[in-house]
Amino acid sequence: MSYSFKTFLKHTAKDFHNQSVNPPVVRASTIIFKSIQDIRKTQNKYKKDPTGGHFDYGRQGTSTTHILQKILTKIEECYHVFLTPTGFGSVFLSIISVVRPGDEILVSDPVYSPTRFLTEDYLKNFNIKTIFYNPHDLNTLRKKITKKTKLIFVESPGSNSFEFQDLSKVISIAKKNKIFTAIDNTWATPYFFKPMKIGFDMSIVSATKYYSGHSDVMGGSLAVNKKVFKLVEKANKVTGLRLGPDDAYLITRGLRTLDLRLDKHQENARKVAAFLSKNKKIKLLYPYKKDSFNFRMWKKYYSGASGLMGLRIKAKNKKSILKFVNSLKLFGYGYSWGGFESLALHQEIREQGNRKFLNLAKDEHLVRLHIGLEDPKDLIQDLKRCLKFIK
């Protein structure tokens, strides 16, 4: 990338042919050609360069999706990016591309609960075994590697409990044992951390979140290196995973302000974190405490922090936690995050899956906050007003 990240996002993908700042939305199931010979030429071009946007059928994409792929390939600094209809579609594609019946997968314990269901439960039907490791004790990773281990799947930070791990050590262990690696990098995006640069084979981002930024799009991206490209390309073909051009257009438009939004999310989140850290009932799950392992691991790999954080709250009365959350006026209640608005969600333990290393005490409760782009003073006042309900 010759320009800085910020400048690149503002100037890429202009359409001088149509004289538009943003590329047009091209919708197509049938891609029309002037002759059969032209179809064969396009197919031959695809064989020579499968990343070049040479399509003969709409399931492969259109110029709209190809432009988004090119942008994301640049900012991920990878070989190629595949697009999927949802973020979880990219999780599925990454795993199904490289594992086969009889293989084993090592997964960091605090992964997104649908990822946990896919690996721990669903893949058992195909004789694929999943083993979980403690992200703060990579000896549990080393000890669980066998000759059958094919993939190490990382989520950093961990979903809802926000554990950061020593990612270079994970890569070193994987390379020593010739194991594929994948990471869910949705929390940071390539703006704050580029997994491909430290050696990951695959990097997942839910484009539903910060890429879009407006809570009205579903999509996912899977960045890959050259080593796994053929495997992912084949799996992508047979699964039929495809991002629609309208969603691709909105994600491309959202990317124009990714840096501005993430900088503001981070600024607001740090102010909210500073306020919440003073409350004795709350253990803040966010990289702010400089003497903590989580902070050191975050600082080692990330250039910034997004707006998503967790709260471990001590309260004997669960209803008081629900009252705290339900009384918030500036925080919406709902799943997902990464949009311009703030959100709050009480995390039921049963929703986290069968975690082995979460270790919540009986009187501890998890609440997730997404800090949006509102005035942080207003968010803090809203939280301050409602924290008094916790008992």
Taking residues 318-343, report their average pLDDT.
Answer: 96
What superfamily would CATH give domain 258-387? Aspartate Aminotransferase, domain 1 (3.90.1150.10)
1 — pLDDT class (breaks 50, 70, 90): low
pLDDT tens-place string over residues 4-27: 888 988 888 777 677 788 888 899
Query: How many other CB atoms are found less than 10 A from the CB of residue 121?
Result: 12
- Global pTM? 0.94
Lowest mean pLDDT among 53-62, 105-114, 164-173, 342-351: 342-351
Q: Provide CATH 3.90.1150.10 ranges for the chain.
A: 258-387
Burial (CB count <10 Å: 0-12, 13-18, 19+), residue 155 = buried
Which parts of 277-366 fold into alpha helices (H)? 293-301, 318-326
Q: How far apart are CA 143 and CA 139, in angstroms?
A: 6
pLDDT at residue 357 in the model: 79
149-155 and 180-184 beta bridge pairing: parallel
Pick the CATH number of 5-255 from 3.40.640.10, 3.40.50.300, 3.90.1280.10, 3.40.50.970: 3.40.640.10
pLDDT tens-place string over residues 207-223: 999 999 999 999 999 99
Residue with the larger pLDDT of the pair 354 and 212: 212
pLDDT tens-place string over residues 158-178: 998 999 999 999 999 999 999
Taking residues 236-242, report their average pLDDT.
Answer: 94
Q: Provide CATH 3.40.640.10 ranges for the chain.
A: 5-255
